[in-house]
Structure 1
Amino acid sequence: MRAKSAVASLSFAASLALGVALRLGGFDGVEAQYVSSFQALVNGAHLMPFFQAVTYLGDAYVWLLLAVLLLLAERRRPGRPLKLMAFLVVTTLATVTVKYALMRVRPFEAYPSLVTAFGQEDMPSYPSGHVARAAGGFTVLADGSRLLEAAFSVLIVLLALSRVALGAHYFTDTLGASLLSYPLVPIAGRISDRLGAALSSSKVDVSGWIHRLQPGRS
């Protein structure tokens, strides 16, 4: 347990350190060249429509809908959907905070002559919110299954590439998002455990209250 906590802390710290280094180091121009080259490769292979579809794997509304559907499907044992909902809240707060703390300009805005925007994005670039949601979200959905983790890893890589292909992010934005996301999963787990316990306790209290209100029970 301590080893996992240490790894999670290091991952979170690495994400923040990477973001600060990128903000202060002046690497954006170099990275924009790689983004431009990747976009040319994707366009040359006629893969842009594919990546435009793949990018929805990290969309906030898609994940919110998925969490609601999962809660309906697993309402008798809501541990996993509650964990997913808690994760979405925590990761949104974390990514938005880091984005506005570092204020990295998106590649299509900073280098419009090099990078083409295939979609409008408003918030700062680092880290990628799409990748952060998917990286940890798929971990929650896998629920310890090695097979699902392997399959979801492929989807996360494709999603990360889609964010670069669309000109929304640098490659390092997606790396930083993954480093930030995974440590938030156990935090979301602890929150959902407490929430589940509170809901269970409330259910018991309500049942007792109803029982006492029945005729002849006063």
Structure 2
Amino acid sequence: MKPRAPAVFERLDLLEWQLCQRLAGFSIHRPWLATLRLASKLGDWPIWVAVILAQPWLHGPAGWRLAAQYALTAVAAILVYRLLKTRLCRERPFITFTAIPCQEPARDRYSFPSGHTMHAVMFLTLVAAHSPVLLPALAPLVALIAVSRVGLGLHYLSDVAAGAAIGYAFAVASLALAG
């Protein structure tokens, strides 16, 4: 017997699926699809490792403390994300609605919340606090990562919104704890 998503997700799915289908439909344009795929790949981990490793370069010896803070915040966020994802069991839009094209292999069958968006917003918030010089390059990438999740057919808009909220909360908590 497969796990069942809460009823609220079933209602949200019905509200969101047509908009998700429209947004995923733009991926028929090859340059846009390539952009979404690149943003998704960067949001897997490479850009965040670069942000972590850049902290000592940007801040000298104090940057090692920031690098550790960023890494520990990311690990804590991953643990909560995994717990939510495996307990809430919201199936990805392309699974529930076959009219939504999937343009990138999914790692698993569940979509809530968006881990890519969670990390993107979390790191953007941390960078805004410590290294705002990086914001002009990072903010558009974060937006593209969030858009890519829906545009590739992997997430609903509410998955992305929840991921953004969770990422922001983790960053704010991290900043408060590091005081």
Whether TM exceeds 0.5 here: the answer is yes
1:70 is aligned to 2:32: no
1:70-115 deviations in Å (ceiling 9; x for gaps): 365356112221121111111101111111121100011222x211
TM-score, normalised relative to structure 1: 0.67
Residue in 1 that maps onto 2:156? 170
Q: Which runs of 5+ in 1 are unaligned?
A: 1-18, 194-218
- Aligned residues of 2:25 and 2:101 also touching (Cα < 8 A): no
Runs of 4+ in 1 over 4 A off after TM superposition: 144-151, 190-193
Q: RMSD between aligned alpha carbons?
A: 2.8
Using the TM superposition, give the Cα deviation of residue 190 of structure 1 relative to its aligned residue in structure 2, in angstroms: 5.7
Using the TM superposition, give the Cα deviation of residue 20 of structure 1 relative to its aligned residue in structure 2, in angstroms: 6.1
Distance 2:107 2:75 in 1: 19
Using the TM superposition, give the Cα deviation of residue 52 of structure 1 relative to its aligned residue in structure 2, in angstroms: 0.8
Letter in 2 for 1:104: R
Of 13, 26, 32, 1:47 maps to: 32
Using the TM superposition, give the Cα deviation of residue 59 of structure 1 relative to its aligned residue in structure 2, in angstroms: 1.0
Residue in 2 that maps onto 1:101? 87
Distance 1:102 1:129 in 2: 14
- Aligned residues of 2:85 and 2:112 also touching (Cα < 8 A): yes
1:116-170 deviations in Å (ceiling 9; x for gaps): 1122223320110000001011211222566755664433222111111111111
Distance 2:8 2:137 in 1: 30
- Aligned residues of 1:107 and 1:168 also touching (Cα < 8 A): yes
TM-score, normalised relative to structure 2: 0.80
Distance 1:55 1:127 in 2: 15
Of 28, 34, 52, 2:13 maps to: 28
- Aligned residues of 1:132 and 1:177 also touching (Cα < 8 A): yes
- Aligned residues of 1:58 and 1:129 also touching (Cα < 8 A): no
Residue in 2 that maps onto 1:79? 65
Q: Which has more radius of gyration?
A: 1
Greater shift, 151-160 or 34-43, is seen at 151-160
